[in-house]
Structure 1
């Protein structure tokens, strides 16, 4: 009887949970792998507050999210600005998806700084983590720079860079890791580089819209598109298009669900093998226009559209 009572009590608590609220037994959205009650929901709080949309305000926020969560090998130069960087304002900095050994940052022999997005630490606000690592790298000698403890309060990456958008370059693999390494020293790095390249799925960024990435994972091809709109209105708009059968991009494509990462949604389409990125350019541009129209429609959803919305919401996978 006691076990049934505890189960009933937990059920009643879950029913009282507000929409969008994180339950104590659910995974913490910071990505630590712990339950919320043992992490950012613990008494006294976690080392740093969880930020649900940490990259808001950064140039090309959607591309930054894609580079952190979806794209294997890509780079984008950053323009430093602001009082926090001082005399380093002209320093060359590259934002990278992944660095060797998942390093948070590397200062190259040339003095250029590489800042990694795909790292192993999770302190609640990745934009603050990036800001702290970048500031340390600006004053460091050549080598790896990282974090072992929460960085505390301080400037976030948004406070250290300028510009409206990033110029993202998607690479076939990680050969950019050794682009500035002398030929005589590359042999020692060959095995690690070969292993990293083997794990990188072919990926391409579309040119007609922002933050849409085609990828070939072997048995399937996908389009994964990080969108900037708030989740509620975006789900409504996608439901309108889905119910009308207007979310098919090309023959053989199907909207199968979406990722949720860093406060943004990334719809995912399955594609027929052999589609390739070029065939998607015009259809995705057309879909973007139709999505904008659907977002502008504020009328109540029909029964069919509500059903479509529920189906889409149930096919979400939270990454961060």
Structure 2
């Protein structure tokens, strides 16, 4: 119920005794109160994307000497949750994510997963979630959606505290560099000859897009103990780096390469990257309609594309 959700939203803001008293006033049994305390006090690394359930010991109480657990709370994940874990793993984000059942965001229009982005484990920079019914509530069509809000002041303070906000000449130099292109640099398309290659290519698309967007930090930058995010050599090609690229892929279900190439051309992408298997791609220049005769190793793709585009 809304009252329980509102209660969970206060979990880390009130003492366990106060939380338990409020829970009991809502008609929750002692055993379920203990289970609720356990579930909402713990957070868990998502280290196994294929996990289907989670067991939590309870009761869990604050303090240096909590009592021995008297049981386990079992939670079954739905297929949608497992798919989310898999997607986080595909884009190499899973190590940054924890499951925290005390995060409910306290807003009634959320319908599924909610999330918060934290700095130093406590300062919330951003938060949001899934709201599949919101557009329909305002008279629009049923539209699955996700969104978030971000605090620019909090973000700037976090960067400032960590010495990651450029000032003076460094700020002017950073602002003077070319910004990312609104036109996609690359459009990634799955291909493959055999069914096995097609499956491997399809699985490689999302991680590859994420990798291209992230770029590769140069060896010189990594070896510099005083490095800053705005250093000019951060993605230097001359030192085995590769700059972040504007990369996209299609969300269409079709596997027809011709239609996907049309989609890429329609979005004015400069290059199409056709994933042949888990290790190789073929590059097609959509500006000249010329396709490479030889394949490129995925491990070298970022540098090859950057050199070809002159970025």
Which TM-score band applies after superposition, normalised by the shorter structure? Answer: under 0.3
**Bigger RCO (CA 8 Å, 6+ sep):** 1
TM-score where L is the length of structure 2: 0.24
Structure exhibiting the larger radius of gyration computed from Cα positions:
2
Q: TM-score, normalised by structure 1?
A: 0.24
